[in-house]
Amino acid sequence: MKAAFKDYINSIGITGGIEERVQNIISQYEILLPAKEVLDIFVSDYFSEDGNRNFDSLWLFFDDCVCEAKNFILVDNFDCAEYRKDLICWWSLDKKDFDLISANDNSRISLSVHYEIQLAWNLKAARNNCMKVIEIIKTRLI
């Protein structure tokens, strides 16, 4: 796993067995897409009413495709779609207690991206993970 990916997942509280699971999924995508390099990753997260942080989907960004491992901690449910900025026809940002510069414990953000071909993806994040969504907007959408 790239050091930047490890730093990112550790910064949002992913360590130990879940960190190993992330590495395993990245390795599986590298088997499925051997000629492609994983350029970035994102983990969708949210906090439940009892205050526990939950990790939902693992997203992998390649030069020309975006892939999602749904419910990645428990199951192997992988998909992948072509990714090109010029196919994005609309995106929407919904945020709470987040100024796009720094996140706090109450910060939340959700990014929805829609393509001309009726394809869409949604990234959601909480607390310090909100900054990763902004990074993805800057590097993958704009």
81-135 tens-digit pLDDT: 888 888 888 899 999 999 999 999 999 999 998 887 777 777 888 888 888 888 8
- What is the pLDDT, as a whole number, of residue 122? 79
Residues in the chain: 142
pTM of the model: 0.84
Look up the CATH number of the domain holding residue 47.
2.30.29.30
- What is the pLDDT, as a whole number, of residue 119? 72
The whole-angstrom separation of Cα 142 and Cα 140 is 6
- What is the pLDDT, as a whole number, of residue 10? 97
Q: Is the pLDDT of residue 60 over 60?
A: yes
What is the mean pLDDT of the segment spanning 47-76?
94
Instruction: With beta carbons less than 8 A apart as the criterion, state whether 72 and 58 touch.
Output: yes
72 pLDDT tier (thresholds 50, 70, 90): very high
Structural domain total, the chain:
1
- What is the pLDDT, as a whole number, of residue 34? 87
What is the mean pLDDT of the segment spanning 60-86?
92
Beta partners for residue 91, in sequence order? 113
User: Pairing mode, if any, of strands 78-82 and 120-126?
Assistant: unpaired
* H or E stretch at 120: strand 120-126
* H or E stretch at 109: strand 108-115
Tell me, letter by letter, the H, E, C secondary structure of 31-100: HHCCCCCCCEEEEEEEECCCCCEEEEEEEEECCCEEEEECCCCCCCCEEEEECCHHHEEEEEEEEECCCC
Residue 133 is part of which domain span?
3-141
Between 37 and 121, the more confident residue is 37
- What is the pLDDT, as a whole number, of residue 142? 57
